[in-house]
Amino acid sequence: MTMKAIALCAITLLLTSAAAQAADAPKVEVQPVARVNTTIIGQPIVVPERPDVIVSIATFPPGSRLPEHEHLHPHYVYVLDGVLTVVNTQTNATFDVKAGDFVVEMQDTWHYGINNGTVPVKLLVIDQVPAGDKSNMVPKP
């Protein structure tokens, strides 16, 4: 057998072995969380052109609250732990979002989030802002 034939056999054996191992590997499970095209109050989501994406974890100790503010751009929240109450101060409507919930917060609308519970609230927050913007939270004057 020539060296070329031996090399070809070795490569074939390796590829066959790798394919067999891949077939036995556990399958990746994808569980959809949400698919939305409007905010929590029904506004269409409008993304800035070529945005910066800011991803952060926010933790609210029991009793804590953010100051009243608004978002000028899309602000996505996935609740990892606890229950956050979002208060729309323009309409006095409230929304409780709990662990496992995904919400697109309202834009250009004054509101705040508060932890009325006894355990910390932990959020995964994603903002899409114009390139260079430092934040998507505008405090009420």
Q: How many helices (H) and strands (E) does the chain have?
A: 1, 9
8 A C-beta contact, residue 18 and residue 98? no
**pLDDT at position 24:** 85
Q: How far apart are the C-alpha atoms of 133 and 141, rounded to whole Å?
A: 19
Confidence grade of residue 123 (pLDDT, cut at 50, 70, 90): very high
DSSP 45: P
For the chain, give every domain's residue range.
52-139
Does residue 81 have a pLDDT over 80?
Answer: yes
CATH number, span 52-139:
2.60.120.10
Q: pLDDT for 15-65, tens place per residue? A: 666 665 667 899 999 999 999 999 999 999 999 999 999 999 999 999 999
Can you give the C-alpha Rg of the chain in angstroms? Answer: 24
Pairwise CA distance, residues 91 & 49, whole Å: 30
More confident of the two residues 113 and 20: 113
CA-nearest of 57, 58, 63, 77 to 119 is 63
Distance set, CA 10 to CA 3, 7, 16, 21, 23 (Å): 10, 5, 10, 17, 20
Element (H, E) at 23: helix 3-24
Model pTM score? 0.80
Task: Provide the percentage of residues in the chain whose pLDDT is more than 70.
Answer: 84
C-alpha 69 chain-centroid distance: 20
Place of tokens 């229950």: 83
Mean pLDDT score across all residues of the chain: 91
Per-residue confidence band for 71, with pLDDT thresholds at 50, 70 and 90? very high
